[in-house]
Structure 1
Amino acid sequence: MSGGETEKIARLAELVSNDIFSFFRWKKEGPSNLNFTCVKKETHAPMKTKTEHTHPADVVFKYADPYLNKSIYLHTDLKSYAVGSIKLAEIKKALKSLGKTIDCARVSPEWQTRYHLAKREKFEIRGMLFVYNHDDEYDKNFYDHFSDYKGENLHIKDGQQVHIVEPSLINYLNTLLVDINTLRAASTFPKDNYTFYYPDLILHKANGEYWERAATAELIASPYMIIHHKEVRTFCEKANAVAETYSEGYLIYYRRDGSSEIEFRYLFDALSRFQILNANKDLKIRIRVANRYHHSSIISNFNAAINSYVAEWGEDENRKRKLQAIELDVVNHAIPNYKPEAIGWERD
């Protein structure tokens, strides 16, 4: 494979990541595709004696974590692999490089000057490995690769975090975005007036402006994601006025397969704890299943879960009414469709 073709394939992961993360309110900080000088050469590259050592910086994303009340900087390594190249050896190599990179970034004046622009904020630097399968043929559980992992050092130190966004998660997030655009086109989801829902926890209270909260790396990889949105208002040319086309509510993207009613009873419990099911104000609740391999009996399991859950609560009619008003839909699976050939024809 020539260098030009390699560059085009590598750019696929950049295009896909840009498409995905803007909806979740992640912002790109500083320049992309620019190395920075290693300040721990004795530790990170002891075999290099004459030349300086550098670390790659494909892209740095930033978002505000509402529980930690600080900014998270994700120093991201973008990988675009064919199915045959996604192997443990390549994954370990990328993680080792990323571990050294974020270790260096924490103390590098060059990195701080380039990417950490808000000097007074509380912040944390993490790593993120973004593994895009550009030929759409990867159908395995990514973490099965680690069944052969022997515990060798990946150079990720205590207190450091590295998030992995692997092919199935990328496809799930892309499916979510395609569905969001479909709902927006139907005027049933707003363009801007939405927020990612974080319930107050025993040890952590959600901070920050409610309607501006971003999705954390933990939230996008969780079994479900709750999005609270305001009413949708659309300009009607016939009436020459702005009218409400959809009321305020909760949009829940569900990542599990719905193979048992227990799943949904667990979800109902969570919605009750979060004061969504038993709130005084009736808001629409939509559950959108974005699992490529959802169970064939998912609708039956959902309805069975409603019946058993209501029975446990002594046939509470108000709770039954709210549960039966929930809309459950399975969304069409969508994968990113960037291809090396199409990128290759772009003008430089």
Structure 2
Amino acid sequence: MAETINIAKMAEKISKGIFNEFFWGRMEHTNINWPCEKTEKHEVKTHPSDVVFWYDEPYSQSRAYINCDLKSYAKNSINAVNIREAIESLAKTINCAEVSQDFNDKYIHPDVSPNIQGMLFVYNHDNGYDKDFSKILDKVKCEDLDLPKGSKIIVFGPEDILWLNNVHHEIIHLRGGAGILPERDYCKFFYPPLIGRKNIQPEHAKAATLEMLTAPWIILSYTNPNNVNNKGYIVFMRKQGHTVDEFLYLIEYLVHHHVIRSEVKVTIRILEPHLNASANFSKAKDQYITDYEGGEEFKKILDSIDFGKIEHVRTNFCEMELSRQ
């Protein structure tokens, strides 16, 4: 019985540790079942909320509430049938949460515009899953899900969790052991103005959104507490750098949004860089200078970028680590 409880708690403990470093808030009530508002349609009496996270949206005045279904599966249980069943259940939960006074009373802050989303967190507790999780998702048909308009469900599989866990530990390392990052109060995730959109909550929207956590890179910005004009950026690049184009695309993005410029420290970290990643990064810098005539001064700025791999890569979660969270 104790072993079963420990396995069930793994996903909750891991999710708490990971998302805290991405500046997500966490509501107090966990592992709660609340009454279904559409019992005939949903064919259940209650819906579960394993944990509800929240953060302020950068490009709107709303606050995102992420209702999480935390699954802890052995490798043989990670299959299309179980994932489809979990997604269907989560969709019904989100649909009901939109109209549930009980959910509102437990989880929604007063005087905010809530944006309720779903997250399925699929943790492999025996660390034996070595297949392509995306192929399972490809088999799951989601066109008929009972989701409210504008809502979505994000699924984090074992590989996604591995990625996010390593990024969160690298942030801790860069703040502590490496001394590159200042304290949390001087850090926030980077949301540049987009075409027709701007970050309208710059003081509140500091968290990494679901969209950022599923993007090709995660960008954390920081300010030197002793000099507010001295800024820096940490770019966590998910791709491994197989090609020059991967880096060229990143450089173009960073230049376009004024991340790469003089007197700004830019650090790029990759979880598992390809053997030729460093060489491809150098070629991408040279190509960018050639294509856009950046000149010698701009070449010095590009060459000053701190490029390297994530330190102390973690491939699993030991029991001691879990017990501390």
TM-score, normalised via structure 2 length: 0.91
Q: CA RMSD in A?
A: 2.1
Q: Does 1:143 align with 2:123?
A: no
Residue of structure 1 in register with 2:30 after alignment: 32
**Of 170-179 and 152-161, the range deviating more from structure 2:** 152-161
- Name the counterpart of 2:217: 224
Give the conservation status (yes or no) of the 8 Å contact 2:94–2:148: no
Task: Work out which of the residue numbers 5, 10, 13 in structure 1 matches 2:11.
Answer: 13
The residue that corresponds to 1:307 in the other structure is 286
Contact 2:22–2:168, Cα closer than 8 Å, also in 1: no
Q: Letter of the aligned partner of 2:46 in structure 1? A: T
Query: How far, CA to CA, are the matches of 1:149 and 1:59 in structure 2?
Result: 24
TM-aligned CA deviation for residue 164 of structure 1: 1.2
Structure 2: 5+ residue stretches without partners: none
Moved more, 191-200 or 247-256: 247-256
2:169 aligned residue: 178
Specify the alignment match of 1:297 in structure 2. Answer: 276
1:138 counterpart letter in structure 2: Y
Alignment coverage as a number of residue pairs? 318
| Structure 1 residues 110 and 315: CA distance shift in structure 2, 3 A | closer
Equivalent residue, structure 2, for 1:240: none
**SS of corresponding position for 1:56:** strand
Alpha carbons 2:57, 2:205 under 8 Å: kept: no
| Aligned residue number for residue 215 of structure 1 | 208
- Tell me how far 1:5 sits from its aligned partner: 2.8
- What's the TM-score, normalizing by structure 1? 0.86
On the 8 A contact 2:66/2:118 being kept in 1, the answer is yes
Matching residue within 41, 50, 55 for 1:58: 50
Equivalent of residue 257 in structure 1, options 240, 265, 285: 240
- Deviations along 1:85-130, one digit per CA (max 9) or x if unpaired, are 1100000010010011111111111111111132x21111111101
CA distance in 1, matches of 2:65, 2:7: 25
Identical-pair percentage: 34
Which position in structure 2 is the counterpart of 1:273? Answer: 256
Q: Tell whether 2:317 aligns with 1:334.
A: no
Q: Hey, which bits of structure 1, 4+ residues long, moved more than 4 A? A: none
**Post-superposition shift, 1:342?**
8.8
For residue 193 of structure 2, what is the aligned residue in structure 1? 200
Q: Secondary structure at the match of 1:35?
A: strand
Deviations 1:3-46 (A, max 9, x none): 5432220100001001001111111124101100111001100x
8 Å CA contact 1:66–1:208 kept in 2: the answer is yes
Q: Deviations over 1:222-258 (max 9, x none)?
A: 111111112267xxxxxxxxxx9xx641111110010
Structure exhibiting the larger radius of gyration computed from Cα positions: 1
